[in-house]
Amino acid sequence: MAPARWSGGTLDPLIPGFRLNYGLRIGNRSISVFPEPRGASVPGTCVIGLQWGDEAKGKLVDILTEHHEIVVRYQGGANAGHTVVSGGETWKLSLIPSGILRDDVSCVVTGGVVLDPASIIGEIDMLEGRGVTVAGKLRLSDRAHVVFPWHMAEDAILNGSVTGGEAIGTTGRGIGPCYRDKVGRSLALRLGDLYRPEFRQQFDHVLTAKRQLLEAARPAGAPPIELDGDAIFRQYSSYADRLRDCVGDTTHLLLDAVEAGRPVLFEGAQGALLDIDHGTFPYVTSSNSSGVGVDSGSGVPGRWINRVIGVVKAYSTRVGGGPLPTEQDNPTGEHLRQRGREYGTVTQRPRRCGWFDAVAARYTARLSGVDELAVMLLDVLGGLDELRICTAYEIAGKRVEQFPSHIDDLRQAVPIYETLPGWPEELTEVRREADLPVAARRYVDRIGELLGRPVTIISVGPDRDQTIFRNTAPATAACPPTNQQEQTTV
Ligand code: GDP
Ligand code: IMO
Ligand code: MG
């Protein structure tokens, strides 16, 4: 059949009243050829963590969900732990988007995610057990790669043996090994495969190879890793049965939604500095967790997204291995850990804490195409006499303002700080910007200035209502004088 040709086609509005959607009319058939995404009807917003994860993305997504019809998780897996606090109730979510807590919102987990069925079923049970409706609201991509027990086993073995020595300190959820199989292709199983007649045959093929690979990787003296093929197969078949009604092609679903102008919110997991390509490699996760991952992970081109919100904590944290230039392994770090309850949601590990790193966050704000900033956990800084923000690094005797691409340079980086006044007040009851102490406003504005983006949202506590929305906060707004002194110090 001859391909459709442009000649003779006319550009007509396909949907009356939807000004920007145009199509090619051939005879009596209309094909949407160029739905115009720019302008007021662009429906996509995304929320990206700009640090090393745990920036309180979950809280923000839950709040923004009120203005969206669909919330999308598009990368990562059960390594994520997102906390939402509402009306005194706390919800811990991992694979299910934080939008699930609202009735009229659909939640989509796309093919960019590596999906551990046991984990997501556990979340569904937890939510339904607490009265949240999940059935009919959750859609899982049949393209999502499935995490199997051998991925967890590989994660446990290989986590410690990193080129360069220090362990990555993964969450142990099989994330890296599952993504490795996805990219390697020959030993991969996607969610859609679990419903095909060939599932058993494919499963056996993978199992045989995995037994050999795990045996070869087994550290000397460690016990052999048992993989009971029949039991695993039965288990995954029952998972597939349980999830059957949720599974389908989410790519078309999302494309239909954005082309129809429905508001869609994309929920990033991890943080941009953990991005596999652009983060602090190899101390990263195995997906594109910066803004560059939204299109590939979701299947929705970036032209449909017109609002990118970069989320930062008012300080820095990191859980797992790898350099954290502004780390405070001292009473200041302990102050932040205790006040911020900085313990991992997934693994309960104490998070490493330090001062805000504007070199790192400026880089990831640019990388992620961030339009505006949300500064979270500002209340945690209360009670410190002085606050520091890292504005540059000293590396091998030179001042560097650009985030280094190589981990060895980052390891050597000595932060250059400017010092700002702290505030003694508790911020958790503050609901209006005008009621924030001057020093707190100055601190937030300085972050906006250093990152070149306005701070539009400030969070002063975990609950939904502990949030301040600012109408305008130009990044270039004059900051009150700060008595800033730069100093090089660890
Ligand atoms: P995520 O992974 O980015 O969603 O973040 P996590 O949920 O892992 O970690 C953020 C933690 O901070 C959670 O325990 C939240 O309940 C909590 N949190 C969120 N916003 C605030 C805030 O403004 N102040 C304080 N003190 N805690 C907050
Ligand atoms: P959320 O979405 C913080 C870290 C791990 C480890 C590295 C690699 O809650 O912000 P992985 O298991 O992904 O192979 O581990 O990445 N990590 C996170 N740190 N928040 C997360 O998610 C994380 N997900 C992974 O601690 O250092
Ligand atoms: Mg988290």
Q: Write the pLDDT tens digit of every residue in 180-239.
A: 999 999 999 999 999 999 999 999 999 999 999 999 988 888 888 999 999 999 999 999
**Ligand having the closest approach to the CA of 289:** 2
What whole-number percentage of the chain has pLDDT above 70? 87
Catalytic site residue from 62, 68, 82, 181: 82
Superfamily of domain 145-243: Adenylosuccinate Synthetase, subunit A, domain 2 (1.10.300.10)
Domain with CATH 3.90.170.10 in the chain: 314-488
Instruction: Report the C-alpha gap between 265 and 36 in whole angstroms.
Output: 19
Alpha carbon 202 to chain centroid, angstroms: 31
CATH number for the domain running over 314-488: 3.90.170.10
Question: With contact defined as beta carbons under 8 Å apart, do 154 and 177 qualify?
Answer: yes
Domain with CATH 1.10.300.10 in the chain: 145-243
pLDDT for the residue numbered 487: 54
> What's the pLDDT band for 87 if we cut at 50, 70, 90?
confident
Residue nearest ligand 2's atom 6 by CA: 170
Atom of ligand 2 nearest to the CA of 155: 14
- In one-letter notation, the amino acid at residue 398 is K
Enter the tokens of residue 330.
């001292």
Which of the pair, 213 or 40, is modelled with greater confidence? 213
Active site residue 406: no
Question: With contact defined as beta carbons under 8 Å apart, do 375 and 369 qualify?
Answer: no
pLDDT for the residue numbered 451: 98
**Bond preceding residue 282 cis, omega within 30 of 0:** yes
CA–centroid distance, 364 to ligand 2, in Å, is: 16
**What is the average pLDDT across 18-46?**
51
| Strands of 77-174, DSSP E | 82-86, 89-93, 106-109, 114-115, 138-141, 145-146
What whole-number percentage of the chain has pLDDT above 90? 81
Where does ligand 1 bind, in terms of residues with CB under 6 Å? 49, 53-59, 81-83, 85, 340-341, 345, 376-377, 379-380, 459-462, 466
Q: Measured from the CB, is residue 326 less than 6 Å from ligand 2?
A: no
Alpha-carbon torsion (145, 148, 152, 153), positive or negative: negative
Question: With contact defined as beta carbons under 8 Å apart, do 52 and 169 qualify?
Answer: no
CA–centroid distance, 377 to ligand 3, in Å, is: 13
* Poorest-pLDDT segment among 318-332, 380-394, 400-414, 470-484: 470-484
**What is the average pLDDT across 396-401?**
97
Superfamily of domain 44-136+249-296: Adenylosuccinate Synthetase, subunit A, domain 1 (3.40.440.10)
Question: With contact defined as beta carbons under 8 Å apart, do 304 and 262 qualify?
Answer: no
Question: With contact defined as beta carbons under 8 Å apart, do 271 and 289 qualify?
Answer: yes
Active site residue 54: yes
Residue in this structure with the two tokens 């949907």, named with its chain if needed: 15
Which of the pair, 149 or 1, is modelled with greater confidence? 149
Instruction: Report the C-alpha gap between 71 and 69 in whole angstroms.
Output: 7
Domain with CATH 3.40.440.10 in the chain: 44-136+249-296
